Structure 1
């Protein structure tokens, strides 16, 4: 994934999640619900946004890599 200089808001991340939710593993969805109930650092918001960005277009291998990172982030909040 390329580095982006934009800062993504809580709403940006939520919108990106909603657009990609149908492609994500079911067991990840409750973790996202918990994620959106809290405030997060800008770095974390940006990271989650970019993990979700074009998730549906990623290869299965890339989706697995992103899933692993998302689970790591979401389970350690």
Structure 2
């Protein structure tokens, strides 16, 4: 995924989440809701937006990579899978 210079608002991320929710693992639904309530910083919002962007079109392998990153951000998992 390429870098984007746009800052995405909490509302942007919520809208993107709603469009992709049906494709995401159900195990992270609650984590998204909790993260939204925390008022995440701009860097986190941008990361979440880009992980969600075109998630539905991503290959199974790409989704697995994104899921690891989503869990790291949402659940606080510090270790990245190799």
TM over 0.5: yes
Quote the RMSD (CA, aligned, Å). 1.1
Structure 1 residues without counterparts, runs of 5 or longer:
none
Q: Cα deviations across residues 8-52 of structure 1 (Å, max 9, x unaligned)?
A: 000000000000000000111010110111111111100000000
Specify the alignment match of 1:18 in structure 2. 18
Query: TM-score with structure 1 length normalisation?
Result: 0.96
Moved over 2 A (4+): none
Instruction: Structure 2: give runs of 5+ residues left out of the alignment.
Output: 77-82
Q: TM-score, normalised by structure 2?
A: 0.91
CA distance in 1, matches of 2:43, 2:69: 14
Q: 2:79 matched to which residue of 1? A: none
**Alpha-carbon distance between aligned partners in 2 of 1:13 and 1:4, rounded to the nearest angstrom:** 14
Count residues with an aligned counterpart: 77
Of structures 1 and 2, the one scoring higher in RCO (CA 8 A, sep 6+) is 1
